[in-house]
Amino acid sequence: MFSDITYYFSKWTFLFTTLFILTFSTWIIYFSLQFYPSAYSILSGSPLLLFMIILPEYMRTFYFLVTRKPALWLTKEKLIDNFKHKEYKWSEIKDIRLEGNGPRTPGFSIVLYLKNTEKKIQIPDIKLKGKKFDILGDLVRFHNRYTKRNEATQ
């Protein structure tokens, strides 16, 4: 019998993301001022625009880290994605796969396919503590075990 499994956001990933954003923004501002001193207001505002796009997700991740709230929670009845405020019953999930992100974005991500729709849900595994294949393995085990059990009881 499985017990509930929770996954939290990684502090190290959050730290490196913060350092990357700050370094990239500083780099853009510095080189903008070096090569285009007359366009100070336009080019130095571009990192601010980038940060404003990233800010909502960044602040939610920070909230989860500070409150130590789990981002992903696997229970016997359902998969709870606290970060996106979504819950999926195991019987609603058709398949769980590891898929490539596409030609423009390298890497792989965990994707859930729901029954009765062509909707795909991506799990933000790179931000979570734990290895991608461990998270994928736990998702597949819970899905295989509790889909059949929940369908038999209904």
Say if residues 73 and 6 touch (Cβ distance below 8 Å). yes
CATH 1.10.730 fits 72-153, yes or no: no
Mean of the pLDDT values across residues 136-150? Answer: 78
pLDDT(127) > 70: yes
Q: Show me where the domains of the chain are located.
A: 10-67, 72-153
- The reply to whether the predicted model has a pTM over 0.95 is no
Q: How far apart are CA 93 and CA 79, in angstroms?
A: 9
Q: How confident is the model at residue 39 (pLDDT cuts 50, 70, 90)?
A: low
Mean of the pLDDT values across residues 100-128? Answer: 75
Crossing angle of helices 11-35 and 40-67, in 10° steps, is: 170
